[in-house]
Chain A
Amino acid sequence: MSTNDILFLAEFDAGQATRSALELAAGAAALAAQSGGEAVALAYGPGAADGAAGLGAHGAARCVVLGDERRPAVVHAPAATAVAREGALALLAPATPNGRDLAAALVGSLGLPAFGPVRAVRLVDGTLETEQATLQGAVITTSRPNEGAPSPSVVLVLANTFTPIEGGTGSAAVSTAPTDDGESGLARATIAESQPAEATVVNLEEATVIVAGGRGVGSQEGFGVLQELADVLGGAVGASRAAADAGWVPYQLQIGQTGKVVKPSLYIAVGISGAIQHRVGMQSAEHVIAINRDPDAPIGEFADLFVVGDLFGVVPALTDELRRRRGE
């Protein structure tokens, strides 16, 4: 317990630490090495109690288990108690809907400075500095907590900002958050009904290659053509809002302002015009290829490779070419 420690939210699902937990563990470990503190996980969700110690191999020195619930409405109370007790320098939270809700509840109940969603976070002369794309990517700003602001600073971190530490050893010291039996207003929200999808939906935030389709793809069958390309590349299929609105793919695959924010190493935009609301969800991709039949489509302004052509010709040809090169 020290004011140099770096806390991070470690969400578990089905007995496993999520990708975001492993990314934040690496980020917290790097910051803690600079601040002279420890990386401390706040672990919650199904499997957190059993899996917590394992976060030690990914950078965590200690782990406080909050419980086996994932819902922010429930996790909030033990999280607030643990955060108040730890008195750390920063708290890293994933910029996912659950991560944001939990972070927001902590900001509200503990009165903490909030940052994000950030694409970088560092220590400059012992002070936290974050970097974020503001105004829909028009400006990159850096921010810091004001002098005398309470700590920890709550930092929402975009997926793929940090790379998980693999092949590490060691286990984290595990403790359990003190139970708080005060009745909280947030906890009055409950799940009245759950409707799982017929098919499992991939988590786009974890994909390193994404083949995204837009209105140009034209139909659900059209997305089958994209899926074949994604399969050869070991990637996942994503979509614009127009494609999700049309019902060709589930909304979980929507990328953009009101969908997922992704940062894969390769993003292939197929039949997507490149509206600003789509762009904010994928502008941090390392490499962007656009396939569009309109030579003036705005996506050409932020693609690295712009292929002007009909997607129904180019995409299957590319799938074949990649298979051929692989000797299939």
Chain B
Amino acid sequence: MKIVVCIKQVPATGADKRYTDDLRLDRASAEAIINPLDEYAIEQALRLADDGVADVITYLTMGPESASEALRRALAMGGDDAVLVSDPGLAGSDEWVTARVLAAALDRLAPDVALMGMASDDARGSLVPGAVAAMRDVPLLSYGAELRVAGNEARVRRLSSDGFDWIAAPLPVVASLTDQVGEPRYASLKGIMAAKRKPLETWTLADLGLSAAELHGGALTRVTGARPPEAKPPAERVENVTPTEAAARIADWMAARKLI
């Protein structure tokens, strides 16, 4: 059984994030990490390996040269090898191009299960897993809060409007996971040392048989503006008063805004 975990490198949560003048993410300004939700997917892959279900775990990312750092960090947690898809033609890529390139790389890697996070931290579109599944014409098991792989089938537990469903499909599948699956492990010192010797390949678009032309120059969409969010005036504060007094002040505040 072969598993590929798709991971994305993103700016650290809460880090000072800026856009450059040409409206790209200023990667120099923020510490880069593995998209936190992708770490949950990595953990699930490693548990399948621990349980003897998975034989090979490969990490796949599309990004700049520096994204190989994220792959090394993943390899330090465990797993076997990694692939970075990097190409000048991919700068400024959007969700469609990302999905197209990952789908092409997955066609080549041919995993039984392609695992992804439910969303990336920076854009939170949650579109890549479904788009990749559609492009590869394989089932999508999305928003999995629990993952089981056995025999020729994978299933995820997915929240429904009031309870949950188990969604099942024959392999191969694309599955996206939530943070309910279980906390990711830390890399051990031994793991970090071992990761340095694990194979990491870099593929270009040409290696995947893709051309910049068929990728519409790298994106179907473009960012046309970036600005800071509307500044909020500092909160009005109610402090050092009894609960009754606080309640009266809140009610007045609500009444003044016609909220009651």
Contacts and interface: CB of A to CB of B under 8 A. Distances in A.
Interface string A170-194: 0000000000000011111111111
Nearest to A251: B159
Interface of B (DSSP majority class): mixed
Interface string B213-224: 000110111111
A133 interface: yes
A157 to B, nearest CB: 12
A142 B134 contact: no
Interface in B221-236: 221-230, 232, 235-236
Given A97-B143, A141-B19, A191-B167, A112 B96 contact: yes
B243 interface: yes
B229 to A, nearest CB: 5
B244 A317 contact: yes
B25 interface: yes
B117 to A, nearest CB: 10
Contacts of A13: 161
Given A193-B166, A314-B246, A76 B18 contact: no
A3 interface: no
A136 interface: yes
A231 interface: no
A72 to B, nearest CB: 7
Interface residues of B, number: 97
B237 A258 contact: no
A301 B234 CA distance: 7
Interface of B: 11, 13-14, 16-19, 23, 25, 37, 94-96, 99-100, 103, 118-119, 121-143, 145, 155, 158-170, 173, 178-180, 216-217, 219-230, 232, 235-244, 246-251, 253-255, 257, 259-260
23 contacts: A100-B130, A104-B126, A108-B130, A112-B96, A117-B125, A138-B228, A143-B224, A150-B220, A190-B169, A191-B165, A191-B166, A191-B167, A194-B160, A195-B166, A196-B163, A305-B250, A306-B235, A307-B237, A308-B240, A309-B246, A318-B250, A321-B244, A321-B250
